[in-house]
Structure 1
Amino acid sequence: MILNLLKLYEDTIKDGDHTPVPLEPEPVQVGQVRAFSMIPEERFLVLEELDNDLFLVVPVSSYLQLLTTDPLPPLYEWRGLRLALAPIWYHIRKEIIENYSRKLFIIKDLTSAKNYIKSVQRQNLPWYTKKFLHLNAKRWANLVLVSLLKDVWEREEELYIQRVQGDTSKLLTPLALAAHSKYKRGENYFAVFEEDRLRLYLPVDYLGKRISVRIKDELIFEGTLESVILEIMGDFRGFEEDLHVVQL
């Protein structure tokens, strides 16, 4: 049963189109369940609004048997479909959501959704759920990359403007200013350095393959990549230039 479902899902998205087409813009709101205009549609929950027009979103799927995590995900009903949250989340830009997805319905109480995402972030997922996420991540890869790069460019531009207004005798380029921010664009990764963790956004081609992550000569992660997003707990700020990611 599980193998048949995985094969069905894999065949469905393989024959589809992962590039969304523009739609009539609809304002995004936290709590909305929306669908990107792909073939087939990619449904997701808008869980939280972050700064700089970024939203935290969670994929929503009708493949319930592939999402039997512990604890079980919240279930939502819409037009005869039963939908469950996938145990992963992404950062997506406001304009991408509004221009390339449509609103399906809204969830007023997000408590169970937020609790679920927190509880499953670091647990060992069933093998079939990992396989589902591996396949599903390919649909999100370009949306995530565009969202994050645009966020960095805007932050760099803002820092540049602030610097110019404050002291016109020392003009710094956006690239130089970026070196002092919490972001780092490497050859094969995009990194966000936060107070308590390092979040890496990695190429889709790395999914299912072994990688190592080092800060200088210290190994901080080695293992098989199960998602395009890899979180490593710890405060690594100040070591942006010493980060290295290698496919083994």
Structure 2
Amino acid sequence: MKEISELLERELKTSLRLLKKKLRLNKCLVPKPPEIGDLRRLEAMPPIYLLLVEEYPLHEEKLFKCLVFSEDIELGTLKGDTPFILLERERTILVGLPLWIYSMDALLQDYSTWIGSFTLEKIEEFIHYAEKTPIPETPQGEYIKAIAKFLSPINTSSLFEYLESLEKEAPQILRLEERVFEPYREYQFSLAASSKRIFKGENWLALVEESESKARLILYLPQDYLGKKIKITLDEKVLFEGELESDQIILEDIPLFSDYSFLEEALSVQI
């Protein structure tokens, strides 16, 4: 047992050295649009595999929820029901990790190689394991956490947390004065009205809801911002500055616009 433990520790150190390096993606040779059920190899070192299990349309883009698989059997295996995938052609066995990330379709198409596809029934088994299995405080757990950190540059899960769980706190509500939006009057009378109602910035996602006379912006922020001091600005105007009490902020009393696309450049959240 001691020899096995020492071997595992050595393997962990080797893997951690690789995972501490900056994630660098290479373009795949044969780009293919991603679909639910795809098993794709992320073109990175070390190689990491993604199984696409859910899809969220965002205007002209798509966001995919991806389960994570690894070639490192010893460090990825946690218990008896750990899922495995045999890639016969590649002579490789993959182990499922209790971990998932989110990725946009363009990144998956250009920087991951299609390996194969799985049925929805099989996908459900993998999802159950990933969502129900806790990450232990063991060498395997340390490895899985390192994988999560390694993939964090492409993981937009913090922006889309509201799709996975209900907010525990009531949203903060801010009522804005109409003069704040004076510089954007041209968007009120735009001839080319836009149907786009979901917008995303560097660290936020927003949904516009309209009533008969006003609109409101539901702003979703990363959960790790909770309890921290943030500042929300619209160009040079400060809309809010203070401690974040909820990962959802509602900006009310916004004038109606035909096109709200200016928000993606004008709205900023700083921490």
TM-score bin (small chain): 0.5 to 0.7
Name which of 125, 131, 152 aligns with 2:200.
152
1:22 and 2:27 aligned: yes
Amino acid in the other structure paired with 2:127: K
Q: For residue 39 of structure 2, give the secondary structure of its aligned residue in structure 1.
A: strand
The C-alpha deviation readout for 1:137-185, integer Å capped at 9, x for no partner, is 23211101499499634964x72xx75x965xx6x7xxx72xx24x12x
Residues 63 and 239 of structure 1: CA distance in aligned 2, closer, same or farther (over 3 Å)? same
Higher helix share: 1
Greater Rg by CA: 2
Q: Quick check: 2:49–2:70 contact (8 Å CA) kept in 1?
A: yes
Name which of 116, 119, 143 aligns with 2:129.
116
1:63 maps to what in 2?
72
Q: Which has the higher contact order (CA 8 A, sep 6+)?
A: 2
Amino acid in the other structure paired with 2:98: P
Percent identity between the two aligned chains: 17
CA RMSD, Structure 1 to Structure 2 (Å): 3.6
Q: For residue 200 of structure 2, give the secondary structure of its aligned residue in structure 1.
A: helix
Name which of 40, 43, 56 aligns with 1:34.
40
1:3 and 2:9 aligned: yes
Residues 32 and 238 of structure 1: CA distance in aligned 2, closer, same or farther (over 3 Å)? closer
If the length of structure 2 is used for normalisation, what is the TM-score? Answer: 0.56
If the length of structure 1 is used for normalisation, what is the TM-score? Answer: 0.60
Gaps of 5+ in 2: 1-6, 161-197, 230-245, 252-271
- The 2-side partners of 1:72 and 1:56 are apart by 22
1:94 maps to what in 2?
105
- The 2-side partners of 1:95 and 1:48 are apart by 15
Q: Quick check: 1:92–1:147 contact (8 Å CA) kept in 2?
A: no
1:103 maps to what in 2?
114
Counterparts in 2 of 1:226-241, with a 5 A limit? none
- How many Å apart are 1:60 and its aligned residue? 0.6
Gaps of 5+ in 1: 185-189, 192-199, 203-212, 217-235, 242-248
